[in-house]
Structure 1
């Protein structure tokens, strides 16, 4: 594909399509002072180093989300149980205090 020059440092940037691992030869077409020069073959070795997973396909992410939901639910249930227990205890204490004051003790 044609490239646009980078005038700041007299270079050109280009992108390459994905290729299988192995040696690849890129033929550089260039000019000097507007005059075409012989093509320059540049051989490089393409190595595929990383494979990115599909978004959301990592099981640990789903596990973390489910675990977070479970922990949030357990925390809410524990808090609710604590509040209900406290109300029951306070009501029982008030009832005992009233019964104690009625007997005159």
Structure 2
């Protein structure tokens, strides 16, 4: 099953974390990948305390991609590619994977 939460305004990440928490409540293995965020939100801290939830985030970029220097763009792309590889590895063992922009 695929869930997509999109659009303007609030609630998309919260809805995704709700799904993650429900899966964790049934002790199912869950992976959370946050792209272009710093990985320090309160929700992530709480989920990291659960043994069945694995969390990873990319480094928060400074500014918009099109405004970055070439070296910053390269580092951002590399971080995203590494996180996607981590997600791919988790797909073999998890029943739920949450990709958060």
Shorter-normalised TM-score: what interval?
under 0.3
Higher strand share: 1
TM-score normalized by the length of structure 1: 0.24
Higher relative contact order (CA 8 A, sep 6+): 2
TM-score normalized by the length of structure 2: 0.25
